[in-house]
Chain A
Amino acid sequence: MAADIKTRHVLLWAIFIGGMCLLPFVTTPGTLRTIIFANYLAIFAMSWDFLTGRTGYVSFGHPFLIGIGAYASAILSYRYGVPVAISIPLAVIITMIGGTLFFLPALRIRGSYFALVTLAFMELMYQLVQVIRPDITGGTRGMSGIQTITSGAFNNFYLSFALMAVIAVILWTLTRTRLGTALSAIGMNEESVRGSGLDTTKLKLFAFMVSACVAGIGGAFYVHYLGSIAPRNLFDINFLFTIIVAALIGGASTVVGPMAGAFFLTFLLEYLRPWLPGSERYFVYGAIALVLYMYQPKGLYQIIVDSLGIGKSRNKQEAAGDSAA
């Protein structure tokens, strides 16, 4: 039975990866661009979930981290002529350092206070990039004509998919270790983790650094896909909620969930567009997300697992660590 379900898992992954690889040959560039956005949204949602889904520290500041990565790489390459192959790794390091400087003091508080403080970071970043050295950041208008890594929907699709897949595999592998169990345990009862002889500050900081690293990678690659950056699009509450809702309705504390949520949300918003071109589609998307969340709080991941019958044999030890297999 267990072997049978494992086979089904492998088969489903093979179908998913094979399908994604063949997709550019059977679909339009327009649809590919939608999927490229979904891939990047999945990266952002996985980044958010690794911190929040595991440790329970609700971050409203992920656009701040994504923004550091995006702006750092854009400025380095656009203003200073640094090659993208160097500007992206530097941007990721800057995101991890810059993010840590802000988030480290905030990790001492939790609950709604942590969420509000991190929300303030996003707003702070929004103001800073417009006011501080607009000659470098581009101010309110941002920057355009930023160097792209590759051109065309076809190449960008494979790039974003490969990036998402590599990040997913690394995060999934991490969550399968004892570290994953410890991070999940923090989300359940931080005092008990401390009472088990573990330094929770160190663990939270590590979770944050991984989360910031992924956000930085996503932000930096995304800006070199778009070729432009504007503060109003990046440090936007809708963007923040799209990331969070993707992770939640997909299935928090899993790796597959945020990916599934990102794809679901992106296509939902895209297919609502012909009928509801204005911002009212966010109302419909909110309602659908709410109903879905009420129906299954564990998200789309659990619906998929239940409907395909691929979760029952998983022993409970695996269940807590993660749910990606």
Chain B
Amino acid sequence: MTALLEVSRLVKRFGGISAVNDLSFEVNQGESLGLIGPNGAGKTTVFSLIMGEHRQNSGTVTLAGEDLSADPTYLRIQKGVSRTYQVPRPFADINVAENIRVGLMPNSIRRMISEGPDPDAELALARSVGFAAADLEKTPGELSMGDLRKLELARTLATAPKVMLLDEVFAGLTVGEITQISDLLAEKRKEGMTYVIVSHDLRSLEPLIDRAVAMTFGHVIAEGTFREVMDNEKVRAAYLGH
């Protein structure tokens, strides 16, 4: 397997605080990697750095061998890396179909004007994450947290990513919704999707990942299978505080 996404010696400081400190890991094509760690470990910052939402002080992010470090966010997404957020960020005043439509749009004003929307593609994406056709007309205000996560997944999938970064994808969900999202991710994984998943719900995370990277205070403290990482003393100390 070749590394699809490679994070190398990433450093990010906010003033005097090192949120990410010489962090490196890689994700192979078709692999699912769990990024775990206690609150404040820097997991979300790593996602923001990979997406270009924050600029690193040093280090590189490469996708399929191409250095993304200088690219703006939208360009990284076009190249194949996309993310979801801890708190879903839907477009509140437009419906599910239009939310997905934004993800499907080409980054060309001429084509946005001259080419109409593709309702079939919108419906297919909505269905792929578990929405029914009737849900397309709903606005985000009418959706449950589980549905909002599904909507975010659909909009993220609409950008045709090679790697998806999923941030706390189970947060705020009911047991039924967790199962639904887990099944969905497992299905996409079978289709070859590459993931990096951040979650505090370790029980739900375990069956979804091939490998885990544990971090605290911005650097990696353990790497291996989920069980190996969870049995690691440093990881236990980081989580339990002793």
The A-contacting residues of B in range 105-145, CB under 8 angstroms, are 105, 107, 109, 112-113, 115-117, 137-139
**Contact: B116 with A188, CB < 8 Å?**
no
Q: Of all chain A residues, which has the CB nearest B79?
A: A197
CB B181 to nearest CB in A, in angstroms, measures 19
- A200 part of interface (Cβ distance < 8 Å): yes
**Contact: A199 with B72, CB < 8 Å?**
yes
Q: Knowing A177-B112, A192-B90 touch, does A200 contact B101 (C-beta < 8 A)? A: no
Interface size on B, residues (CB 8 A): 37
**Contact: A316 with B139, CB < 8 Å?**
yes
CB B88 to nearest CB in A, in angstroms, measures 9
**Contact: A188 with B94, CB < 8 Å?**
yes
**Contact: B51 with A199, CB < 8 Å?**
no
Q: Of all chain A residues, which has the CB nearest B78?
A: A197
List B contacts of A198 (CB < 8 A): 74, 102, 105, 107
CB B57 to nearest CB in A, in angstroms, measures 22
Cα–Cα distance between A320 and B96 once the two chains are bound (Å) = 11
**Contact: A203 with B109, CB < 8 Å?**
yes
Q: Mark A185-196, 1 if CB is under 8 A from B, else 0.
A: 100110111111
**Contact: B72 with A191, CB < 8 Å?**
no
Cα–Cα distance between A193 and B112 once the two chains are bound (Å) = 14
**Contact: B109 with A317, CB < 8 Å?**
no
**Contact: B74 with A317, CB < 8 Å?**
no
Cα–Cα distance between A321 and B91 once the two chains are bound (Å) = 12
The B-contacting residues of A in range 198-237, CB under 8 angstroms, are 198-200, 202-203, 206
Q: Tell me which of B101, B155, B159 contacts A181 (CB under 8 A).
A: B101
- B92 part of interface (Cβ distance < 8 Å): yes
List A contacts of B112 (CB < 8 A): 177-179, 182
Which size bracket describes the interface of A in this complex? 20 to 34
Main SS at interface, chain A: helix
- B158 part of interface (Cβ distance < 8 Å): yes
**Contact: A317 with B95, CB < 8 Å?**
yes
Cα–Cα distance between A179 and B75 once the two chains are bound (Å) = 19
A-B contact count (CB 8 A): 101
- A47 part of interface (Cβ distance < 8 Å): no
Q: Mark B67-81, 1 if CB is under 8 A from A, else 0.
A: 000001111011000
Q: Knowing A184-B94, A194-B74, A316-B95 touch, does A179 contact B102 (C-beta < 8 A)? A: no
Q: Knowing A196-B159, A199-B72 touch, does A188 contact B105 (C-beta < 8 A)? A: no
The B-contacting residues of A in range 298-325, CB under 8 angstroms, are 315-317, 319-321
**Contact: A174 with B113, CB < 8 Å?**
yes
Q: Knowing A178-B115, A200-B74, A316-B95 touch, does A206 contact B89 (C-beta < 8 A)? A: no
Q: Of all chain B residues, which has the CB nearest A178?
A: B112
Q: Of all chain B residues, which has the CB nearest A205?
A: B109
**Contact: B92 with A195, CB < 8 Å?**
no
Q: Tell me which of B82, B90, B101, B139 contacts A178 (CB under 8 A).
A: B101
List A contacts of B90 (CB < 8 A): 189, 192
List A contacts of B91 (CB < 8 A): 184-185, 188-189, 192
Q: Knowing A195-B82, A197-B74 touch, does A185 contact B116 (C-beta < 8 A)? A: no
Cα–Cα distance between A203 and B91 once the two chains are bound (Å) = 16
**Contact: B98 with A197, CB < 8 Å?**
no
CB A138 to nearest CB in B, in angstroms, measures 38
List B contacts of A316 (CB < 8 A): 94-95, 98, 137-139
CB A217 to nearest CB in B, in angstroms, measures 19
CB A49 to nearest CB in B, in angstroms, measures 15
Q: Tell me which of B89, B105, B113 contacts A195 (CB under 8 A).
A: B89
Cα–Cα distance between A185 and B99 once the two chains are bound (Å) = 8
- B49 part of interface (Cβ distance < 8 Å): no
Q: Knowing A178-B117, A196-B105 touch, does A188 contact B98 (C-beta < 8 A)? A: no
CB A253 to nearest CB in B, in angstroms, measures 9
6 contacts between A and B (CB under 8 A): A192-B90, A195-B77, A197-B77, A202-B109, A316-B139, A320-B95
Q: Interface on A for B, CB 8 Å cutoff?
A: 174, 177-179, 181-182, 184-185, 188-189, 191-200, 202-203, 206, 315-317, 319-321
Considering the complex of A and B, which 8 residue pairs feature the smallest CB-CB distances, nearest first? Answer: A197-B77, A320-B94, A179-B112, A316-B95, A188-B91, A178-B112, A192-B89, A196-B103
